[in-house]
Structure 1
């Protein structure tokens, strides 16, 4: 990925999440892009990056062979929201992850959006299970049949995601 593409992706997340959350989400996206195992999927419109979603490794310590990832962030430029970019992002990325041999995708996200793409609430642990005050916001998409049922125990994400504040849903409205 060249610097221009990276800057475009960071800008998508900055603008998609608005003035309050945008700068922090953009900074996270930038650090995720520096991880060698991050998967970045973008959708373009009129020759520019209109949306982007990032996937980082998510490990169940008792099941290290399960190939899982965490979806975050997923952003669409404001001028392209409501025009199918998010749908294309989700469909393209799910197909890519399936073809790359992933078993499951997890997301701490908006319960009204992700179920459209097959995500369902899950009882699998986040790295900080005590901070999950909105259980329906923690969802999984099974890509390999039977995988999620077998997963259990403690989980671990990349270092940037291992901050307790990342998993505290009590501030969500």
Structure 2
């Protein structure tokens, strides 16, 4: 991925998350894009990146052979929100991750958005289970039948996402 594409993706997340969270989420996206195993899916409109979603490896310590990814962040430029960009990147992402043999996706996100793509609340642990005060925000999408049921125990996200504040749902309403 070349520098201009990285900058365009970072800018999409900065705009999508607005004044309050934009700078921090943009930096997180930049940190994720520096990781070799990050999967980035974008949608273009008018020759520019209009939306982007990133997926990073998510490991269940007792089940290292189960291929899981964490979805974060998912952002659409305000100019293109409400025009199907989010749907396009989510559907393309799910198809791509299935095609590479991913077993399950996890997201700590908006409970009203992700279920339309098949995500359901899960009781599997986050890296900081004590900080999950909004359990309906922690969801999974099983891509390989039977893979999620067997998962248990401690989970590990990539290093930039292992800071506890990312997992504290008490700060979001």
Compute the TM-score of the two structures, normalised by the length of structure 2.
0.99
Equivalent residue, structure 1, for 2:44: 44
Distance 2:35 2:46 in 1: 29
Equivalent residue, structure 1, for 2:68: 68
Compute the TM-score of the two structures, normalised by the length of structure 1.
0.99
Equivalent residue, structure 2, for 1:8: 8
Q: Gaps (5+ residues) in structure 2?
A: none
The CA RMSD over aligned residues, in Å, is 0.4
Shift of 1:46: 1.0
Equivalent residue, structure 2, for 1:149: 149
Secondary structure of the 2:54 match is strand
Shift of 1:144: 0.2
Shift of 1:51: 0.1
Equivalent residue, structure 1, for 2:31: 31
Size of the aligned set, in residue pairs, is 173
Distance 1:166 1:49 in 2: 25
User: Runs of 4+ in structure 1 displaced over 3 angstroms?
Assistant: none
Equivalent residue, structure 2, for 1:116: 116
Distance 2:158 2:26 in 1: 16
Shift of 1:19: 1.0
Shift of 1:20: 1.1
